[in-house]
Chain A
Amino acid sequence: MPAIDIHGLTKSFGSIKAVDGLDLVVGEGLCLGLLGPNGAGKSTTMKMLTGQAIPDGGSLHVLGFELPREAKKAKARMGVVPQLDNLDIDVTVEENLAVFARLYRVQDVGAAVDRALGIARLTDRRKDAVDRLSGGMRRRLLLARGLIHDPKLLLLDEPTVGLDPQIRTELWTLIDNLRSGGTTILMSTHYIEEAERLADEVAVMAEGRVIARAKPSELIAEHVGVSSAEVYGPPERLAEVRAAAEEAGLRVRAAGPAIAIVGAEQAEPGLIPEDAVHRAASLEDVFVLMTGEDAE
């Protein structure tokens, strides 16, 4: 039985179709990265998975329970780590965890709190009020709170958004430990590196549905080949190089101040300028080419 089983899911807000016929199956023990630009439908999908949004159509099963009808049963077995910090800041670290242990009807609240504190490496700070913690500690506490009842499924909604690189790396280690321990994880993110590092598989969402799904290496090989060549220079030069590459049937995307010629290994000799920087093709190439260059 898959941990998440979604078929033909739809959800509209007025005339806007946030989720449009989404099919998504997440097997037990898998870490799936849900990658998509803003407005792709990731957050609405997450809300439907926690019963906080009611689908207009389609079917949605989590851990064998039909949502939204059996949302409470499903929620009792899944943990949620939200994008935004919603801890009780005046209350101590351990009280924050104990409150949620009780909400999840955990039998031995003390043991559950100790275990969660251990996972988040916050045992020494258990008596501190949350507003005395650093940003990274608060993120770790959010993760610990989502794990307080030892869930079978963990939903991570943009788990490292807005964090320093060091804290992000620290959280990635924690998430990777959970993945290695067999917890099923659905992680929505728009950090390509995060998905690339942590996810067993990546599903790319755009306009409310999954447009590609595979292991990161397979997505790269299938959609963007082996290498990309980044060309820097004034806009006129970039436009010239772009036109030539596209005329030769290569795909080109904007890459900040440069352009990236994707599948550069297929280019005819002389097509790519000598000063181009060659690098391995990445998931970012896949993402931008599949979801478009324009930010919403």
Chain B
Amino acid sequence: MKPVRRLEPAVILAVMGRELANFRTFWKSTAFTSTFEPVVYLFAFGLGLGSTLVTTVDGVDYVQFVGTGLVATAVVFSSALPAMFGTFVKERFQRTYDAILAAPVDVEELVTAEMLWIGLRSAVFGCFPLIVTMFFGLEPELTMLLVPVFAFVTALAFAAFGMTMAATVSKIDQFNYVTTLVITPLFLVAGTFFPIDQLPEGFQVAAQFNPLYQLVELVRGASFGLEAVDALRFAGLLVLAAVMWRVAINRLEKRLII
């Protein structure tokens, strides 16, 4: 007989409260990395490459092209990786999930809370590259207020993906396969540093299925002008987040409830 399940907002908030209590102890280092990294990328690619080889892409200043693209980089690195390593460590080494699940919390609520927390964090960190790029000439636009929303939904999908991987691997070293075979290729063909329409046609088609590419396009839309197709991109990300949420719950349940 299966347990009766019900998502209780108070429980989800309490689990997120635990994350917040822990985050308060290390937020400075995370905030520093999230701010400093886009600056380094902007100097290396935007100013370095931009001042020597490329000046504009599709009429957009190359620094701004890279800066807007870096939002997706910030989102994937602040969602998928913490979800993978954090979940694995909390489950295997810290036994945090044993403690939480001994309280009136079920796996569905646990996964939902962890995803929402990571999503919120990434939504904030995802905006950092955009803010930094404004110091390099990017004009603020009202539509940029949508960027945290786009980042949040994408981060939910990647958080769920990370948790799914954490519930699948048997050793922490196996995350190397995930980063090398999944995250790095997604990151490189997301159109962050170069437009994908210069890639071979096969890659261009594959990029359409890359959620990071869709996020990059949405952020550039919010920065330089949204199009009707962007609604479709956002809907796709919503569907992906919803599907990955259920997959993560399923995998974590198999791992945590014996």
Contacts from A to B (Cβ < 8 Å): 13, 47, 50-54, 66, 68-73, 75-76, 80, 82, 84, 86-88, 90-91, 95, 98-100, 102-105, 129, 145
Shortest A51–chain B CB gap in Å is 6
Contact partners of B106 in chain A: CB under 8 A: 51, 71-72
B4 contacts A70, CB within 8 Å? yes
B100 contacts A91, CB within 8 Å? no
Shortest A8–chain B CB gap in Å is 14
Cβ of B228 within 8 Å of any chain A Cβ, yes or no, is no
Quick one: which of B95-117 are within 8 Å of A by CB? Answer: 95-96, 98-106
Contact partners of A129 in chain B: CB under 8 A: 25
Give the tally of cross-chain contacts (CB within 8 A): 95
Contact partners of A68 in chain B: CB under 8 A: 1-3
B104 contacts A103, CB within 8 Å? yes
Shortest B132–chain A CB gap in Å is 29
**Which stretch, B10-18, B73-81, B161-169, touches the partner chain A?**
B10-18
Given contacts A69-B1, A88-B18, A105-B10, are A100 and B256 in contact (CB under 8 A)?
Answer: no
Using CB atoms, name the residue of chain B closest to A68. B3
Contact partners of B99 in chain A: CB under 8 A: 82, 86-87, 100, 145
Q: How many residues on chain B are close to A (CB under 8 Å)?
A: 31
Contact partners of A105 in chain B: CB under 8 A: 10-11, 14, 104
Task: Give Cα A95 to B19, complex, Å.
Answer: 11
B22 contacts A52, CB within 8 Å? no
A75 contacts B102, CB within 8 Å? yes
9 closest Cβ contacts across the A-B interface?
A86-B95, A102-B14, A80-B102, A90-B25, A103-B103, A76-B104, A75-B104, A86-B99, A72-B104
Q: Could you mark each residue 1-38 of chain B with 1 if its beta carbon is under 8 Å from any beta carbon of chain A, else 0?
A: 11110100011011101100110011000000000000
Contact partners of B182 in chain A: CB under 8 A: none
B101 contacts A52, CB within 8 Å? yes
B25 contacts A51, CB within 8 Å? no
A99 contacts B14, CB within 8 Å? yes
Using CB atoms, name the residue of chain A closest to B105. A103
* Residue with the highest number of chain B CB atoms closer than 10 Å, among A68, A73, A88, A104: A88
Using CB atoms, name the residue of chain B closest to A142. B99
Using CB atoms, name the residue of chain A closest to B96. A86
Contacts from B to A (Cβ < 8 Å): 1-4, 6, 10-11, 13-15, 17-18, 21-22, 25-26, 94-96, 98-106, 256-258
Contact partners of A47 in chain B: CB under 8 A: 258
Shortest A102–chain B CB gap in Å is 4
Task: Give Cα A103 to B102, complex, Å.
Answer: 10
Contact partners of B94 in chain A: CB under 8 A: 86
* Residue with the highest number of chain A CB atoms closer than 10 Å, among B95, B102, B105, B106: B102
Shortest B22–chain A CB gap in Å is 6
Interface pairs (15), CB distance under 8 Å:
A47-B258, A52-B101, A52-B102, A52-B256, A52-B257, A53-B257, A72-B106, A76-B104, A99-B18, A103-B14, A103-B103, A103-B104, A103-B105, A104-B103, A105-B10
Task: Give Cα A181 to B94, complex, Å.
Answer: 32
Contact partners of B26 in chain A: CB under 8 A: 90
Query: Which residue of B18, B25, B104, B257 is within 8 Å of A54 (Cβ)?
Result: B257
Contact partners of B1 in chain A: CB under 8 A: 66, 68-69
Contact partners of A54 in chain B: CB under 8 A: 2, 257-258
Using CB atoms, name the residue of chain B closest to A49. B102
B22 contacts A71, CB within 8 Å? no
B101 contacts A51, CB within 8 Å? yes
Shortest B27–chain A CB gap in Å is 12
Using CB atoms, name the residue of chain A closest to B102. A80
Task: Give Cα A71 to B102, complex, Å.
Answer: 10
B95 contacts A82, CB within 8 Å? yes
A53 contacts B3, CB within 8 Å? no
Contact partners of B105 in chain A: CB under 8 A: 72, 75, 103
